[in-house]
Amino acid sequence: MSDSSSDDSRGALTGIKVLDLSRVLAGPWASQLLADYGADVVKVERPGKGDDTRSWGPPWLQDEQSNDTSDSAYFLSTNRNKRSLTANLAHPDGSRIVRDLAGQSDVLIENFKVGTLKRYGLDYESLAAQNPRLIYCSISAYGQSGSRADRPGYDAMIQASGGLMSITGEPDEEGGSPQKVGVAIADIMAGMYATTAVLAALLARGDDGRGQHLDVPLYDAQVAWLANQNMNFLVGGVVPGRQGTAHPNIVPYQTFATADGHVSLAVGNDRQFRRCMECLGLGELSDDPRFADNSSRVANREVLVHLIAGKFSEQPSATWIAKLGASGVPVGPINSIEDVFSEEYADERQLVRQLSRHDVGDIPTVSNPVRFSGTPVSYRSAPPRLGEHTRSILAMELGYSQEQIVALYEEGAI
């Protein structure tokens, strides 16, 4: 497969087996990260349908004759480096297959509604009894306990109820309204927390050989990563509001309209502020006591932003980016996603790689951003076809005969 020079290198998690019972985004995002770092991930999917996101198109992956396949671009974004096995958990033989695989696994990731897997003997207590080393990671909307534990939840509602939408968008006085982030960031961040929790649990297991149950709620994760906005309220007592692109604690730190578009300015200290004012032809403001330090600039935000905005409007974006950038002032364009992948920098950093699948040829994938010096990220395989590895996993890892496998298909167990 293309662009996969690290395929034969040993990853940080080589030898770790992950059983992925999750679907949509948070769980698959976590398992893809573990797979990138070398773990062997088996993705368990519903027979005939698979992960919900396989059908979340268009756009669809196309084969070499430009015909749509049954896999959406959404599904491709979070399922590389995995093997797909189909199993009907409601069928006794299907759930038995998953139990047997759990007995061989280091990690299990699931995002079923709380209590669902207990009906099939696939809850943490049941599986830990047969495999005490198992790290069992449950991702849910509101966690495994509490008054909301039985509620379902999707990213947009978590962004809303968890506080993010209240600080995202233009303020009311400018005609704004609450907005969600342009990607399912509550899901993604829950997946990131889940990944770090799994890695910590693997490290802890080295002490006593025992796994543990990890409870990762989307809601709690969403609240946790509001970072300084949380503390602004807890310490300052003022409820944060929507400020568009502006920063609640730093000025000037926002987008500005130019003669032909917009730029994003991020002045983080007094030295950068002085250089910025000199570039804008407003050098005298550096000595103005109203703007002498960041706290003063925050207090006099409206006056300063008005003065700066007038200057930015006089010249095109490229001029300001070149001028400010040469002076060490953090500034950048407002790129579209097309712009991001069209720049030479995308090639320089290999932001996109190609993975081969025999039924479609090359499939693009966005690179994992981490660079390891000794255990590199691997790009071993494209997102799998539904059930692509069912037969091989049952035969090679669980010792099923071909006759048994055929019977399981006929019974609807796989």
- Active-site residues: which are they? 187
Query: Is 245 within 8 Å of 169 (Cβ atoms)?
Result: no
Report which of 86, 71, 78, 85 is spatially closest to residue 36, judged by C-alpha positions. Answer: 78
CB 354 within 8 A of CB 3: yes
Contacts of 319 (CB under 8 A, 6+ apart): none
Instruction: Please say whether the beta carbons of 47 and 87 come within 8 A.
Output: yes
- Kindly give, in sequence order, each residue whose CB lies less than 8 Å from that of residue 255, ignoring residues fewer than 6 positions away: 244, 245, 262, 263, 264, 265, 334
User: Which ranges constitute the DSSP H helices of 237-384?
Assistant: 270-280, 294-299, 301-312, 317-326, 337-342, 344-348
Asked if residue 169 lies in contact with residue 178, where contact means CB atoms within 8 angstroms, the answer is: yes
With 0-12 CB in 10 A as exposed, 13-18 as middle and 19+ as buried, what is 190?
Answer: buried
Contact 149, 173 (CB under 8 A): no
Locate all alpha helices (DSSP H) within 10-79, ordered by sequence.
26-36, 73-76
